[in-house]
Chains A and B, each alone.
Chain A
Amino acid sequence: MSDAIQFRGVRKTYRTRRGEIPALKGINFSVKSGEIFGFAGPNGAGKSTAIKILVGLLMPDEGDCSIFSQPCGTRDAKKMLGYLPEVTLYHEFMSAQELLRVHAGLAGFRGKDRDERCHRALERVGLSERKKSRLSEFSKGMKQRFGIAQAIVGEPKLLVLDELTSGLDPQAQASLLELLAELRSQGLTIFFSSHHLAEIEKICDSVAIVHKGEIKAAGSMNEVLGKEKKLRVEVQVHEEPANLDQKLWSKGKSGSLVAYLDEEAAGRAIRDLEDNLKSVVSAHSQRRSLEDLFLELTESKTRAANTL
């Protein structure tokens, strides 16, 4: 299958009065056509920057990216695209239906066909009853739903969603994930960023983890997380031993240590902790979770600032 998205050595540095902020340090990855691709990373990792380059709002300093072989930012690339921005105030003076018509019109639909598509998009996100309300009267979650309707109304080949489920209640989240799965079955490629790692793990075919402007891992779920199950051991320690094997142990939640090991190695590793061991929180067989991998890859001294 051909690639829906390709990033090749994309670099972007913001120049501000306070100096330069390197947001992307030469990222490479690709998204296959027809898959759901999750883009994860802590706050400030560069996700939105990469997405804005993808939809043509920012120009990369170096490197290039393409959508179905069309350079990003060109009209041809944008024709295939539906985009949900991270934070946006839509034109609040318009009603949902009116603004959706504008977007469908910009995507090239006219007349009855356009109205039909708007109706369907609003129905899909559960807003058809409020279609005549102005956007200024919408709640945050309703605006997010409108944003999704706006992204899918042009019947794009590629959906790019920045912060997919931000502001959505659990029901809306679940129905949105269902909608995405349905869209994928119709052949759409979906690329989204999210802080909900469980959500990514649940529905994505592939994933990339970005941290401080660099891709730390990318590929299919199996490639990134490994296929085979291992023993996941989580322990609490009194104090982190000075000679802790950093390759083995990574930080889990609330100061615990987590390792994925074979049974034999697990016993040895726990014994090595000696007196520092406070308690074994859990030990069970499972595939490495995305959350653990994420914490492992993005673990740093600035953890507090980067909490999810």
Chain B
Amino acid sequence: MMETLILTHLYFLGSVRRQVHLATLFLGTILFMLPSYINAFSLGINAFERVSKDFGLTLIGYFGIAMAILLASTSIPRDLENRSIYPVLARPVRRYQYLLAHYLALVALLACSYLFLGLCLSAAVSALTRQIDLTLFIAVFTSFLQACVMGAITSAVSTVASPALAGTVGAFVFLVGSLPGAFIRFFLVEDRDNQFAAALATGLKSALPNLAVFSLKDPIVHDITFNHSYIFALIGYALVWVALSQVVAGILFGRRDL
């Protein structure tokens, strides 16, 4: 376990020293400036609150996914390419520990980013509404869970693929996984009667994680109540996919030549 933590720290530090967090700071600034983009006086405070939450959460969600896919698809291939992996794996470190360390470093980085962006958004919204809305952080958290799942899947693919291929697979999983069931039903079946595309989309969707479940933006923005045990179910669901990805990655990477 100690080895994993030492490596997690190394890879986290690596991302920070490569200044990956600058992009987060930039987006944070944009979120913080929301009140000056959305005119609260023409919308009214209520509409302003909703529009800025909706807009902000959407931005955070896409940013987090992009960050997860980009980092997860490049970090292990980079180690392989510049061979900095050699001296590390010649140590008494198991290969799955190495993979886990890379993943934990990614999760730590995502957690810091999401926390920072959530704070920026919350500050921007409450600057006008004069109230701090903690439910906002629930939506930020489930969005974070989604990014963790995407990171795990992309990183598993990256153990045997190039960064470009892993990134593409990651983006594809994200697109299919976040396709709402309604899209297939209305757009593909009722509108176009394309049974084949519908069957394909449904098949793919059931083999891949259902990322649509992580989106709590609408209920949070529109104050729709939901059962809070749902959050725990989501955590469980995310953990299952992360564990599955790590196991597959461990098997793929375990015996590969370096």
Interface residue ranges, A against B (CB under 8 Å) = 14, 52, 55-59, 75-76, 78-79, 81, 83-85, 87-91, 93-94, 102-103, 105-108, 147, 150-151, 154
By beta carbon, the residue of chain A nearest B94 is A75
Q: Is B22 in the interface zone, CB < 8 Å from A?
A: no
Cβ of A154: which chain B residues have Cβ within 8 Å of it? Answer: 91
Task: Supply 27 A–B pairs (Cβ within 8 Å), ascending by A.
Answer: A14-B257, A55-B90, A57-B86, A57-B90, A59-B255, A75-B92, A78-B91, A78-B92, A83-B86, A84-B87, A85-B86, A91-B10, A93-B13, A93-B17, A93-B18, A94-B10, A94-B14, A94-B17, A102-B7, A102-B10, A103-B87, A105-B3, A105-B6, A106-B6, A107-B91, A147-B87, A154-B91
Instruction: Judge whether B86 and A88 touch: CB under 8 Å.
Output: yes
Q: Known interface pairs A52-B258, A107-B92. Does A89 touch B82 (Cβ–Cβ under 8 Å)?
A: yes
Across chains A and B, the number of contacting residue pairs, with CB separation under 8 Å, is 76
Q: Is B89 in the interface zone, CB < 8 Å from A?
A: yes
Q: Is B185 in the interface zone, CB < 8 Å from A?
A: no
How far does the Cβ of A82 sit from chain B's closest Cβ, in whole Å? Answer: 8
Q: Is B251 in the interface zone, CB < 8 Å from A?
A: no
Within 8 A of A (CB), among B79-112: 82-84, 86-94
Q: Is B2 in the interface zone, CB < 8 Å from A?
A: yes
By beta carbon, the residue of chain B nearest A12 is B257
A169 to B173, CA, bound (A): 52
A151 to B88, CA, bound (A): 11
Instruction: Judge whether B84 and A78 touch: CB under 8 Å.
Output: no
By beta carbon, the residue of chain B nearest A150 is B87
Instruction: Judge whether A58 and B258 touch: CB under 8 Å.
Output: yes
Interface residues on B, range: 20 to 34
Our pick among B6, B17, B90, B94 for the contact of A102 (Cβ within 8 Å) is B6
Our pick among B2, B17, B90, B255 for the contact of A83 (Cβ within 8 Å) is B90
Cβ of B13: which chain A residues have Cβ within 8 Å of it? Answer: 93-94
Cβ of B87: which chain A residues have Cβ within 8 Å of it? Answer: 83-85, 88, 90, 103, 147, 150-151
How far does the Cβ of A255 sit from chain B's closest Cβ, in whole Å? Answer: 38
Within 8 A of A (CB), among B47-62: none
A56 to B94, CA, bound (A): 10
Instruction: Judge whether A87 and B88 touch: CB under 8 Å.
Output: no
Cβ of B17: which chain A residues have Cβ within 8 Å of it? Answer: 93-94
By beta carbon, the residue of chain B nearest A110 is B2
A75 to B98, CA, bound (A): 13
A87 to B85, CA, bound (A): 11
A91 to B14, CA, bound (A): 8
How far does the Cβ of B15 sit from chain A's closest Cβ, in whole Å? Answer: 9
Our pick among A14, A79, A94, A106 for the contact of B88 (Cβ within 8 Å) is A106
Instruction: Judge whether A89 and B83 touch: CB under 8 Å.
Output: yes
How far does the Cβ of A14 sit from chain B's closest Cβ, in whole Å? Answer: 8
How far does the Cβ of A90 sit from chain B's closest Cβ, in whole Å? Answer: 6
How far does the Cβ of B201 sit from chain A's closest Cβ, in whole Å? Answer: 34
